[in-house]
Chain A
Amino acid sequence: AQSVTQLGSHVSVSEGALVLLRCNYSSSVPPYLFWYVQYPNQGLQLLLKYTTGATLVKGINGFEAEFKKSETSFHLTKPSAHMSDAAEYFCAVSDRSGDKIIFGKGTRLHILP
């Protein structure tokens, strides 16, 4: 069975600093991996996804994530945080034949001026 662990329910970074949100997954088969973002009072939006091929995936708004099979990780990064990045971020995993996506519990990102 697939599962996702997000380390840190809250992360604070200063504006302009590196953003690093951690995600580890458990999957018995090669996974599909996703990062979603949720702005206040809105639904989730896809940031990026890994399916096959290049392990460094670039998404919207300057975010990227690297699939590391040996570490079972899919951490999300952004070189320079903006105030508009303040939101909740969800890592998710879907197996290759699954009907469902399993979401992590989310990490709320706070941007300090």
Chain B
Amino acid sequence: IAGITQAPTSQILAAGRRMTLRCTQDMRHNAMYWYRQDLGLGLRLIHYSNTAGTTGKGEVPDGYSVSRANTDDFPLTLASAVPSQTSVYFCASSAGRGVYNEQFFGPGTRLTVL
């Protein structure tokens, strides 16, 4: 069982370029999340999806978009990357809300925008 996979592992990107970070889970979890982790700031939620076909904005959604066409996949797109989006990005999933909201994390994608 793989759990959550993310691709790529790392990426260096020129500013202004479009980039999609991929996330796939095989646990049939309803909810999925994207976080960015920055030194001294902890994890901040970018976007989330409670179930396939729905998405919501987190704490820092600007400059990012997501889609949830099916249960397993939750890609994160940077339409036009900027240096402030240099970060480590983590995808997570959970079976649902409330008491079920134990989140399982992927290994992360390290993104550098130059």
Contacts and interface: CB of A to CB of B under 8 A. Distances in A.
A, B: real partners: yes
B50 interface: yes
Interface string B95-114: 00111011111111000000
Interface in B37-94: 40-45, 48, 50, 56, 58, 90, 92
A9 interface: yes
Nearest to A42: B107
A45 B31 CA distance: 17
Contacts of B44: 103
Contacts of A101: 101, 103
B7 to A, nearest CB: 14
Nearest to B41: A105
A41 B31 CA distance: 24
Closest 8 CB pairs of A and B: A43-B105, A105-B42, A103-B43, A44-B105, A94-B101, A106-B42, A51-B99, A103-B42
Given A32-B101, A41-B108, 9 more contacts: A32-B99, A43-B92, A44-B43, A45-B105, A96-B99, A100-B48, A103-B42, A104-B42, A105-B41
Interface of B: 4, 31, 33, 35, 40-45, 48, 50, 56, 58, 90, 92, 97-99, 101-108
Interface of A: 9, 32, 34, 41-46, 49, 51, 90, 94-101, 103-106
